[in-house]
Homo-oligomer: A and B are copies of this chain.
Amino acid sequence: MTNTTISTDDSMMTLVNVFSVAPEHQQELVDVLVEATDGVMQNMPGFISANIHRSTDGRHVVNYAQWQSRAHFDAMREDPACGAHMKRAADLAEFTPIVCDVVHARHV
């Protein structure tokens, strides 16, 4: 398994999903997203990566995810197994899924 890399060269789709959560539910939300990633998402066609981040203030969780294409991402969202996990996440937090492209990458 390689690491996730961020680059403007790739044709992949990036999803930045920002969850707003009460601090007392942050760990539970992390657990739900890790379970969804390892149990379901990583086996879906077109999955490249998912990277779960915990905010230091306790109020957010961010998933930085990559899919081969928008079509693969949309197909995943129609899958009942994925839907069940996302329902659990939605019960714990509000979320803003942002579908985006990398337009500039600078690394020292």
**Chain A residues in the interface with B (C-beta under 8 A):** 1-7, 14, 16, 18, 30, 33-34, 37-38, 41-42, 47-57, 60, 62, 64, 70, 96, 98-108
Contact = CB atoms under 8 A, between A and B. Distances in A.
A54 B18 contact: no
- In the complex, the count of this chain's copies comes to 2
B42 A106 contact: yes
A108 B54 contact: no
Contacts of A41: 106
B53 A16 contact: yes
Contact of A49 (B1, B55, B101, B107): B107
Nearest to A9: B3
A95 to B, nearest CB: 12
A108 B1 contact: yes
Nearest to A50: B106
Nearest to A38: B106
